[in-house]
Structure 1
Amino acid sequence: MSRPSVLLITPYLKQQRGNTVTSLRLLKGLSQLGYAMDMLSLDSPQGWSWAAERLSKGDYQLLHILHAASLEQVWQRLPDTAGLPLVLTTTGTDINVDLFGPQRPVIEKALQQADRIVVFSPTFVPILTSSLPDISAKLRIIPQAVDLSDHPAWNRSQLNYQGDDIIAVLPSGLRPVKRIEWALQAMEMAAVYCANLHLVVVGPNIDHRYAQAILNNIEQLPRTVYLGEVDHKEMAGLYGMADLVLNTSLVEGQPQAALEGMSMGLPAIMSAVTGNLGIMTSGKEGFYVDSPQELAQAMITLADNRPLRLEMGAAAASLVHQNYAVEWEWEQYHTLYRELLGS
């Protein structure tokens, strides 16, 4: 029996972004489960003509798209996809931002056209159904899993850090919705009280004007560095060197990079926003914060208390291993695919 053929389309592959990591993880897992997976990216011309030829021959049985705003572009480039069963994985900004802005008609149309809609958290269900109550039966909750490559911890001395330094890592692309300035403001306050506290920002430069302002600020801050974009295969090594992981987003789909750090035993400090809330229990695996001042205080608390840092880090790792196992995520998509393929 031939393997079902699925066309998976992601908005990004060139930069190390959340959609990039998610699409590659799904490609890997669903291929292992027996699907013939082809993947295209909206930020690359590669493969589109070949996919169009396959579509004209009826070679695909299912279309899977990440981010609701992608569907309109896919239909423009590949009109023959319009007849395929459609799985739509919403990824955060499409719900939190685009649904309430100029892109709303595009997002609503995509949600209405999809046969199954995946959200990462139950908190997104009422947001969607309040706008489009008729889509409730199509919604499925599948949290993103964590699937880090094994990599030895980075050598601290290569970055001029000492063994007793406390390293907080903020893995995030540089764009306004990630609110990097919170971390910089917090570091400026916390550095006064913690002489061995350091902040490492890592991620792609996405919004160049915003990024330039952030980089200018970093140059003026004590013990704060920007490492640029790091290959995802090396992120486990960075987390292995660090002591804390931060997320300062204005809105989130799911704090994937923070969960990766937590899986490596790092306590998390996250902004108390939709997408982050409900991931952990504040005071157990880390802290939720509502301002740069609260972020600074949480950083100081964890920097000054090694037993608490280790206790929260162990709890964070346990939580991720229990709730965000990659095998479970893949099996949920396998079940969803079978619903649409009738097998």
Structure 2
Amino acid sequence: MKVLLASPNFHQPRGNTVTVQRIANSLEKLDVDTEIISTTEKQWTTLPEADIVHGFHAYHFYKFIQKLDEKPDPYMVTITGTDLNHDLFDKQKREDVFASLKGAKAIHVFDDKAKEVISNELSEVEDKIFTIAQGNSNFPKENPPVKKEENTFLFVLPAGIRKIKNVPEAIKMMSKMHDKFPRVRLWLVGPIIEEQEGQAVEELVRQHDWIEYLGQVPHLNMGAIYQSADAVLNTSHDEGQSSAIIEAMGFGIPVLVSNNPGNRSIVTHQKNGFVYKSPNEFLDYGEQIINNNEIKQKIGQQAKQHIADYHSSTYEADNFLKIYKSILN
């Protein structure tokens, strides 16, 4: 069997790229032939031959296949985040999302809440929606690109710099934390995706000597960065299901995340991480992580166990293969 994985912005280090590459690697271990193409960086008219096409991001995938001389049949779609939280409710994009989902033989979502949202908006596709949580990545042993300062407490925020990731607000909240705990440090990791937002973030970084912007880092190096961290942040307005948070938790790192559906699908507040609803809560929970080593260790251990139990990349690939076979049969 050959599966063609079609992802937007594949050659940029974004969450979708990490997800698609991980799935391809895991499928290859099951003797599935895979090929990855980007749906946004090249004008395709004919697709490479494959038994099934698996598109990521319902809206982008639909716009992509409209430009092909021959539409893929069969195909399935993975809902990745923006298409669920924004495009599905955007008057200009909603019908394209519907068309993408109606044409798919199967629809993959990361959690049952996403399934509920789609079913409420388009009940006719409910029977072909499958829930498979994001798998976790494996990392080689690497040295971090930057060495953590001794006797400091390091927060890491992995995020492509764009408005939805809310990085300026993260810096603002972390500044208050640093005022109270001068040993706090912050690493920002990720490429600039939106230029204006990137300029704003770089200007803020220049104002604080305790913040380092590492920029774009190869995904293979992220394991070393997580292992340097004392805590990992996600401050996004919306998420599908953050690969970075899953990866950090897999290392037993406490996470402090914003209150959105994607984050809540992974993090259970005060059990395997912290979910904040306001800047004051962010500071309160951050202080708990800094000051209470017992809580830090307990949360980290429970995070690591949760990822082992519910975010296996082997389980993820096995279930995709079952879906592919059911579609082809």
Aligned equivalent of 1:97, options 69, 74, 86: 86
The RMSD of aligned alpha carbons is 1.7
DSSP-derived class of the 1:124 partner: helix
CA deviations 1:20-42 (Å, max 9, x no partner) are 01111111122222222222112
Displacement of 1:151: 2.1
- Amino acid corresponding to residue 285 of structure 1 in structure 2: N
- Amino acid corresponding to residue 228 of structure 2 in structure 1: M
Tell me whether 299-308 or 89-98 shows the greater mean CA deviation.
Answer: 299-308
Displacement of 1:66: 0.5
What's the counterpart of residue 251 of structure 1?
A: 238
Q: Kindly report structure 1 stretches of 4+ aligned residues shifted beyond 6 Å.
A: none
Structure 2 CA distance for aligned equivalents of residues 269 and 37 of structure 1: 35
Tell me whether 274-283 or 146-155 shows the greater mean CA deviation.
Answer: 146-155
Aligned equivalent of 1:130, options 102, 106, 120: 120
Q: Does 1:230 align with 2:227?
A: no
What's the counterpart of residue 161 of structure 1?
A: 149
Q: Does 1:171 align with 2:158?
A: yes
Indicate conservation of the 8 Å contact 1:171/1:202, yes or no: yes
Aligned pair count reads 328
What's the counterpart of residue 87 of structure 1?
A: 76
**Structure 1 residues 178, 234: CA separation in 2 closer, same or farther (over 3 Å shift)?**
same
- Amino acid corresponding to residue 77 of structure 2 in structure 1: L
Displacement of 1:246: 0.6
**Structure 1 residues 303, 222: CA separation in 2 closer, same or farther (over 3 Å shift)?**
farther
What's the counterpart of residue 292 of structure 1?
A: 279
Q: Does 1:16 align with 2:13?
A: yes
**After the TM superposition, which residues 64-213 of structure 1 pair with which residues of structure 2 at under 5 Å, given as runs?**
64-82=54-72, 84-101=73-90, 102-152=92-142, 154=144, 158-159=146-147, 161-162=149-150, 164-213=151-200
Displacement of 1:247: 0.6
**Structure 1 residues 266, 92: CA separation in 2 closer, same or farther (over 3 Å shift)?**
same
Structure 2 unaligned blocks of 5 or more: none
What's the counterpart of residue 39 of structure 2?
A: 42
TM-score normalized by the length of structure 1: 0.91
- Amino acid corresponding to residue 31 of structure 2 in structure 1: G
Indicate conservation of the 8 Å contact 1:145/1:324, yes or no: yes
Identity %: 30
DSSP-derived class of the 1:191 partner: helix
DSSP-derived class of the 1:173 partner: coil
Aligned equivalent of 1:280, options 251, 267, 272: 267
Displacement of 1:126: 1.8
Indicate conservation of the 8 Å contact 1:67/1:89, yes or no: yes
Structure 1 CA distance for aligned equivalents of residues 196 and 163 of structure 2: 10
**Structure 1 residues 211, 253: CA separation in 2 closer, same or farther (over 3 Å shift)?**
same
TM-score normalized by the length of structure 2: 0.94
Structure 1 unaligned blocks of 5 or more: none
